[in-house]
Amino acid sequence: MTDSKYFSTQRKGEIYELKAELNSDKRERKKEALKKVIASMTVGKDVSQLFPDVINCMQIDNLELKKLVYLYLMNYAKTQPEMAILAVNTFAKDCNDPSPLIRALAVRTMGCIRVEKITEHLCEPLRKCLKDEDPYVRKTAAVCVAKLYDINQQLVFDQGFLDLLKDLLSDSNPMVVANAVAALSEISEQSPQIQVFDLNGPTVNKLLTALNECSEWGQVFILDTIANYPPKDDKDAQSICERITPRLAHANSAVVLSTVKVLMKFLELIDPNSEFVQNLYRKLAPPLVTLLSTEPEIQYVALRNINLIVQKRSDILKNEMKVFFVKYNDPIYVKLEKLDIMIRLTNSNNIAQVLAELKEYATEVDVDFVRKAVRAIGRCAIKVEPAAERCVNTLIDLIQTKVNYVVQEAIVVIKDIFRKYPNKYESIIAILCENLDSLDEPEARASMIWIVGEYAERIDNADELLEGFLDGFKDENNQVQLQLLTAIVKLFLKKPTETQELVTKVLTLVTQETDNPDLRDRGYIYWRLLSTDPKAAKEVVLAEKPLISEETDLLEPTLLDELICHIGSLASVYHKPPNTFVEGRFIMKKKLPFRTGIHHEYEDITTMQTNQQQQQQQVVISSNVGSLIDDFDILGPMSNTSSTTMNTFEHTQQQTSSAIPNLLDDELSSILGLDSNVGGHQTPMMNTNTSLPINRLTTSTGNDLDDLFGDINLHTGPSSISFSSPNTLVLPKEIWVSAQKGKGLEISGTFARRNNQIVMEMDFTNKALQSMNDFALQLNRNSFGLTPLQPLQILNPLFPNQTIPIQLILNANGPIMKMDPLTNLQIAIKNNIDIFYFNCIVPIHILFVHNGEIDKMTFLQTWQDIPENNEIKYQLQNINNLSIDDLQNKLRLNNIHTITRTIIEQKEMLYQTIKLTNGIFILIELKITPGNRTIAFSLKTKVPDVANLIIQAYELILSSN
| Contact call for residues 629 and 777 (beta carbons, < 8 A) | no
Q: Among 198-212, 600-614, 891-905, whose mean pLDDT is lowest?
A: 600-614
pLDDT at 603 over 80: no
Grade residue 748 by pLDDT with cuts at 50, 70 and 90.
very high
Distance CA 777, CA 831 (A): 9
pLDDT at 661 over 80: no
Grade residue 515 by pLDDT with cuts at 50, 70 and 90.
confident
Grade residue 686 by pLDDT with cuts at 50, 70 and 90.
very low
Grade residue 549 by pLDDT with cuts at 50, 70 and 90.
low
Q: What pLDDT score was predicted for residue 791?
A: 79
* Average of per-residue pLDDT across 499-528: 89
Q: What pLDDT score was predicted for residue 2?
A: 54
**Three-state SS for 107?**
helix
Domain over 734-846 is classified CATH 2.60.40.1150: yes
Q: What percent of the chain has pLDDT over 90?
A: 20
Q: What is the pTM of this model?
A: 0.59
Q: Among 360-364, 567-571, 598-602, whose mean pLDDT is lowest?
A: 598-602
At 542, which amino acid appears? L
Question: Domain coordinates of the chain in residue numbers?
Answer: 460-532, 734-846, 848-959
Grade residue 524 by pLDDT with cuts at 50, 70 and 90.
very high
* Average of per-residue pLDDT across 694-700: 32
Q: Classify the phi-psi angles of 693: left when phi > 0, otherwise alpha if psi is within -120 to 50, otherwise beta.
A: beta
The predicted-structure confidence for 124-156, as pLDDT tens digits, reads as follows: 888 888 888 899 999 899 998 888 888 888 888
Of the two residues 814 and 650, the one the predictor is more confident about is 814
Q: What percent of the chain has pLDDT over 70?
A: 82
| Contact call for residues 261 and 568 (beta carbons, < 8 A) | yes
Grade residue 624 by pLDDT with cuts at 50, 70 and 90.
very low
Residues 6+ apart with CB under 8 A from 89: none
pLDDT at 11 over 60: no
| Contact call for residues 482 and 442 (beta carbons, < 8 A) | no
Output 633-636 pairs: Cβ under 8 A, ≥24 positions apart. Answer: 633/780, 633/781, 634/780, 634/826, 635/611, 635/780, 635/817, 635/819, 635/826, 636/690, 636/781, 636/817
Pairing state of beta strands 677-678 and 681-682?
A: antiparallel
Distance CA 375, CA 151 (A): 53
At 259, which amino acid appears? T
Residue 238 main-chain phi, psi, to 5 deg: -65, -40
Q: What pLDDT score was predicted for residue 338?
A: 92
Return mean pLDDT, the chain: 78
The predicted-structure confidence for 425-452, as pLDDT tens digits, reads as follows: 888 888 888 888 888 889 999 999 999 8
pLDDT at 961 over 50: yes
Grade residue 383 by pLDDT with cuts at 50, 70 and 90.
confident
| Contact call for residues 790 and 715 (beta carbons, < 8 A) | yes
Q: What pLDDT score was predicted for residue 13?
A: 52
Grade residue 593 by pLDDT with cuts at 50, 70 and 90.
confident
Number of residues that this document lists for the chain: 961
Q: Among 283-287, 304-308, 631-635, whose mean pLDDT is lowest?
A: 631-635
Q: What pLDDT score was predicted for residue 715?
A: 35
Grade residue 262 by pLDDT with cuts at 50, 70 and 90.
very high
**Three-state SS for 838?**
strand
Q: What pLDDT score was predicted for residue 110?
A: 79
273, containing H or E segment: none
Q: Where are the alpha helices (DSSP H) in 332-477?
A: 332-345, 351-361, 367-383, 388-400, 404-420, 429-433, 442-454, 462-470
The predicted-structure confidence for 553-585, as pLDDT tens digits, reads as follows: 678 888 888 899 999 999 999 998 888 888 766
Residue 732 main-chain phi, psi, to 5 deg: -65, 155
Q: What pLDDT score was predicted for residue 308?
A: 93
pLDDT at 654 over 80: no
Q: What pLDDT score was predicted for residue 467?
A: 85
Look at the domain 848-959 and name its fold.
TATA-Binding Protein (3.30.310)
The predicted-structure confidence for 888-944, as pLDDT tens digits, reads as follows: 888 888 899 999 888 888 888 999 999 998 888 999 999 988 888 889 999 999 888
Q: What pLDDT score was predicted for residue 938?
A: 92
